[in-house]
Structure 1
Amino acid sequence: MKFKTFFWFVAPSVFMMLLFIAAPLVSVFIQSFQVTQPVMQQVEVETCTPGFLTQTCTTEIKTVPTIDEDTGKTITTTSWVGLQSYRNVLQMDKVWDAVSDGALRDILQIDFWRALRFTLMFTLLTLPLVVGVGLLIALAVNNAAKSLKGPVIFVSLLPFIITPVIGSLSIYWLFVGDGILTATLERWTGQDIAMFAQAWTIELLMYFYRVWHVAPFAFVIFYAGLQTVNMDTLESAIIDGANRFERLRYVIVPHLMPLIIFIALIHLMDCYRVFDEIIGFRSEAHVISLQWLTFNFLTPDDAGNRAISRAAASSMLTMIGIVILLIMPLRRTWRDHKGAHTDVRFSKGKPQ
């Protein structure tokens, strides 16, 4: 392919990536080192009580934002504060105080570290479950009778088709208050059950929902990969006396390893930005995530102000966490690619 043809082929995609990914990323990075505040002024405000003959008026001085007479908007100033926004988010002074006092539980009372704890657990615990459940469904469908494959595939894909917020709300209404499943459990156990009254039960439901929602995606990928398994190798393993588990471990899983890494990459990036479950399960009082924390910083307070600088710092810390989690899968992918490239060069240079 000529360079000119290649350029016009990739130019639209590169332009869109620079416009909608790179430019906002640079903007967020810059904003994490800035603080934008309204310009305040002191004005005299006269307050009068109702009435005519008995009316009394008092004058007091209040601090209010300065309004631009031409546009009607609040006048703001932007100043560089360095790493102050990151310090405000991390609150390392409280962390060191908790470590020095031996009260490590107090660290989880800080919003960022509480959100980080849940985000990491949610990401790392659901990953093996999604891969395992997806692989089991793919193996079951692959070995099922032809008449059953269609209905099983249809039922298995339903959770993945449902919009994430709608799916989380569905699970929420099944267990909240006198939901169908909660009422059934209460009749079975004879005890009152409140699934959303404590953090650990909410987290269990979130883990269940994420696996239920994402496992069909892994199933589709693994099912496609199973169609390319070398049947000669599989039959040779059967002849050598390998049982089902041994064939799965030494033949099927190594063949599917690139797909496992691909699913792991997608899952890590998606789960580390968990947000829909927090909103759907209404768990802000017990469980929060890093993505929800950023959203909370951007929510206007009673005065209409938003903590944009802290939101930008939280976003950058979230991205750093995603990069750290992706290092191991990417290293494995690069090592496999480099090894395959070396094998190809060796085979080409090998004397015939």
Structure 2
Amino acid sequence: MKFRTFALFVGPSILLMVLFIAFPLAMVLINSFQVTNPVFTTQSVETCTPGFLTQTCTTEIKTIPVLDEAGKTVTRTEWVGLSSYANVLGGDRALRALSDFDLGALLQIDFWKALRFTVTFTLITLPLVIGLGLAIAVVVNNAARALKGPVIFVSLLPFIITPVIGALSIRWLFYGDGIVTVWLEALFATDLSIAANGWAIEFLMMFYRVWHVAPFAFVIFYAGLQTVNQDTLESAIIDGASRWERLRYVVIPHLMPLIVFVTLIHLMDAYRAFEEVIGFSSQSYRITLQYLTYDYLTPDDSGNRAVSSASASAMLTMIGVVILLAAPLRRTWRDHRGS
């Protein structure tokens, strides 16, 4: 293929990647090293009480923002280096907690609290999603032809539902006087307040993630099962291999590239979890790194946003994603070189 033809095919994709991925990422990186604040000035304001003979006046010094000719607040950008990262990580509080090996104090800092939950959430749900997706795929693959269509349709329903709607649906089952909560209270003859228990909320958030994402893994694995070499399976049956041995030594090795693919997708999605925090209103108990970035961007009482801290939080989140993806990407590269 000539270079001109190759450039015509690849050029638009590269241009869009630069505009919508590389450029925004570079701007986030730059914003994490600088802080933009409004410019304020002090002004004397004299206030007088009503009256002529008994009038008293007081002078107050007020701080007001400087406005330009268009009436907009004048801002000033300062290069602060790694100060935003230190602020997000907790600064001196984190150093004291680490030096004292005080895990409780460390987890009181928003970033470390979000990191703990995000990593736990990601690594616990990963094997559950893969295992449940593979189990459903094997069951559907061995089901009667007349049952495959309905089973596939029902299995895909959680993945079709909008994430926030799915999270709210599970929340309504357990929070307050939800149906499941009422049943549990009647079964154990006690009052339950799941919304006031951080670990119960964490369990529900993980349950929702597995319920929502397992159908995606099921579709990928079910497609892979259609390409398993039937001659190899028949040879294993003739050799006396059990169903479990055929799954372990024939099917799973054949599906390993797809398992790595599902792992990559799940790690990226789960580490950037956000819908669960909103759907389950878990801000007081459990937050994710993605929600922490959103919280920094929420305007304060003065209408200001902590853009620098949000950028630093986003960069730290991206670094965490890269670290988690290193192992499966290394395996993919090794398998590619081996082939």
* TM-score, L = length of structure 2: 0.96
Aligned match of 1:258: 257
CA distance in 2 between counterparts of 1:159 and 1:55 reads 72
CA distance in 1 between counterparts of 2:212 and 2:51 reads 66
Q: Which letter maps to 1:123? A: T
Post-superposition Cα deviations, 1:106-151, rounded to whole Å, max 9, x if no partner, equal 1000000000000000111100000000000000100001111111
Q: Which letter maps to 2:84? A: S
Partner SS for 2:329: helix
| Structure 2 residue ranges without an equivalent (≥5) | none
CA distance in 1 between counterparts of 2:47 and 2:220 reads 69
CA distance in 2 between counterparts of 1:101 and 1:288 reads 25
Q: Which letter maps to 2:121? A: F
Matches within 5 A, 1:288-307: 288-307=287-306
Aligned match of 2:81: 82
Aligned match of 1:227: 226
- The Cα of 1:173 is off from its aligned counterpart by 1.3
Aligned match of 1:39: 39
Aligned match of 2:203: 204
CA distance in 2 between counterparts of 1:176 and 1:47 reads 53
Are residues 26 and 260 of structure 1, via their aligned partners in 2, closer, same or farther at CA, if it must alter by over 3 Å?
Answer: same
Aligned match of 1:23: 23
CA distance in 1 between counterparts of 2:312 and 2:15 reads 26
Matches within 5 A, 1:130-149: 130-149=129-148
Matches within 5 A, 1:1-352: 1-46=1-46, 58-68=58-68, 70-340=69-339
Post-superposition Cα deviations, 1:176-217, rounded to whole Å, max 9, x if no partner, equal 111121112112221111111021001000000000000000
* TM-score, L = length of structure 1: 0.93
Are residues 196 and 47 of structure 1, via their aligned partners in 2, closer, same or farther at CA, if it must alter by over 3 Å?
Answer: farther
Partner SS for 1:288: coil
| Structure 1 residue ranges without an equivalent (≥5) | 341-352
- The Cα of 1:80 is off from its aligned counterpart by 0.6
- The Cα of 1:330 is off from its aligned counterpart by 0.4
> How many equivalent residue pairs?
338
CA distance in 1 between counterparts of 2:254 and 2:117 reads 33
- The Cα of 1:92 is off from its aligned counterpart by 4.0
Are residues 328 and 187 of structure 1, via their aligned partners in 2, closer, same or farther at CA, if it must alter by over 3 Å?
Answer: same
- The Cα of 1:10 is off from its aligned counterpart by 1.6
Structure 1, 169-178 or 205-214: larger mean CA deviation: 169-178
Are residues 212 and 61 of structure 1, via their aligned partners in 2, closer, same or farther at CA, if it must alter by over 3 Å?
Answer: same
Q: Which letter maps to 2:120? A: M
Q: Percent identity?
A: 68
